[in-house]
Structure 1
Amino acid sequence: MEDIKAYIESGILELYVLGDVSPEEKLQVETMASKHPSIKAELDEIELSMEMYAEHNAVEPAENLKSRVLNSILTNFSDDYNFDTKAAPAIDNVVAFTAPKTNNFYKYAFAACLALLIASGIALMNLYNKLQESTTQLAALQVDKQHFANRVNLVEGELSVLRDPSFKFLKLNPTVHAPATAAVTIAWSPVKKKVMIDMANVKMPANDKDHQYQLWAIVAGKPVDLGVFDANPDSTDMKEMKTIAAVKTDAFAVTLEPRGGSVNPTMDQMMVLGKF
């Protein structure tokens, strides 16, 4: 296993992909790849990485390069055509030199540098992905923080209502048109002209998408619209309704109306009613 790891880290696989190996080395790499799946997988990964690197660093040739190459070919062809084919053969005065011994140090050093470059690129990509993940988590934490701050503000607002002596609390009880368990609790401050519904204690049948509950104040025998609301079992806040200018009311009532509310209450759909 250590021999296979050392073979992979030797740089021979990168040289094989670059085509810079001898026939014997080429045969050796192909033999090792056929015997060891880990070497074959590493070879495929190197080929894919080099292909991606080549595509990323590809350089488009200049537009006039094609015409320059063609003109050069035509010029050389014309010069060859004018050569004197009957000229005396040239004297062979070329001295053959002994080919220097191949030095594989630079070849393997280049392969090692290329492998290091690819590994660095992969590490940078992983670091970028982790940075993106951290940014996403930070944004989620900021949203949670804002949600918590809003919730704290809401609770503080509810506490201020409970501690405010100007608010009066009234429980609206069911009529014959509602279940016996129906109930709505409101808080009314004649001084601040505010009316609020305790949504956590709304015990009303769920309204459909075409209807809403509408709160009314009965002032001097006339109904005054205070706004609409939905019977949402998940709601736990205090819902502020429309302001009311009257210092004294006869009663408060809730009717079931078409979505958006009605100008006048539907009397046969009055669900709950309460008097001070």
Structure 2
Amino acid sequence: MNVAEYITSGILESYALGTVSDQERREVECLSSIYPDIRREIDELTEALEKYALAQSVEPPASVKEKLLQQLEFPASEPSIVRPMYPSEPLSGPTFRTTWLVAASVGLLLLVFSFYLFSQLRSNQEALASLRTANETLKAESHQLSDWQKQQDQMMALLRQPGTRTLVLQGNDKAPKGEVLVFWNANSRQVVVNASALPQLGPDQQYQLWSLVDGKPIDAGVFDVAQSGRVVQQLNRPIARSDAFAITVEKRGGNPTPTMATLLAMQPVNS
């Protein structure tokens, strides 16, 4: 079972609000006893709902109570009328009018209370949706930070290795502001690129790094850049020897030979 998809399906919010069917309720309670993440999400939603209800609670206006009491008062000048339990004629006059007023008042009170509950339900649903959105945003930012930290760790691990070289590849007129640092260790054959301000490519394109050995290009791996134009990525091609490094734009997945028309930068190793 995909617990993450089940949590984001919205059924837990409905469970917390009490709007699920009996079968759905039993399902949620069963899964929450099996998966701690679901149990924790329910607890967080319930706590958030309670806090929001307490913060947004509103007492009915005092004027409503006064109006109802005024409508329920019986005229003092009218004598009491005793009627049989089963009258032969329909009720009429003051008694019928009083009964109608009581029924109308109760109906009005129920209508006001129902509207109040509906408003609170809508407010709670909106609050839960906002909490869900904020939670998803925080998770996405956390994943981005984690990925960036892993990339930095890869680069630092390579820099600590004896024999690691750093080459600066400046972009040509196709990427005048682009700059790529290539960290290469011939002993471990590892290559890490740290790109800065490279143009973002389309979904069917990637940047490809080449190692030139005796004038022949060798595929050193492909990499993407984020919207910010930055990336730190360890490539998966072992490079034991290189006279120069170059970067081109190729189709997604790379090409066996470079497309010279898309050459963005090149730097000799021993310059």
TM (norm. structure 2) is: 0.53
Q: 5 Å matches for 1:39-50?
A: none
Deviation at residue 264 of structure 1 after TM alignment: 0.7
Unaligned runs of 5+ in 1: 14-95
Q: 5 Å matches for 1:1-276?
A: 9=67, 102-103=94-95, 104-164=97-157, 165-166=160-161, 168-174=165-171, 178=174, 182-190=178-186, 193-199=189-195, 201-203=196-198, 212-219=206-213, 221-229=215-223, 234-241=228-235, 243-258=236-251, 260-276=253-269
Deviation at residue 208 of structure 1 after TM alignment: 6.5
Q: Does 1 or 2 have the higher relative contact order (CA < 8 Å, sep 6+)? A: 1
Cα distance change of structure 1 residues 150 and 259 upon mapping to structure 2, 3 Å threshold? closer
Deviation at residue 129 of structure 1 after TM alignment: 0.7
Q: Which amino acid aligns with 1:130?
A: S
CA distance in 1, matches of 2:184, 2:156: 13
Q: Spell out, residue by residue over 1:227-257, the C-alpha distance to the aligned partner (whole angstroms, 9 max, x if none).
A: 445666623332343x122333222111234
Deviation at residue 118 of structure 1 after TM alignment: 0.7
Q: Spell out, residue by residue over 1:90-141, the C-alpha distance to the aligned partner (whole angstroms, 9 max, x if none).
A: xxxxxx99x8753243322211110111112111111111121112111112
Deviation at residue 171 of structure 1 after TM alignment: 0.9
TM (norm. structure 1) is: 0.53
Equivalent pair of 1:187/1:197 in contact (CA under 8 Å): yes
CA RMSD of aligned residues (A): 3.9
For these two proteins, the number of residue pairs brought into alignment is 185
CA distance in 1, matches of 2:257, 2:118: 65
Equivalent pair of 2:197/2:228 in contact (CA under 8 Å): no
Partner SS state of residue 127, structure 2: helix
What's the % identity of the aligned pairs?
21
Cα distance change of structure 1 residues 244 and 260 upon mapping to structure 2, 3 Å threshold? closer
Rg: which structure is higher?
1
Equivalent pair of 2:224/2:231 in contact (CA under 8 Å): no
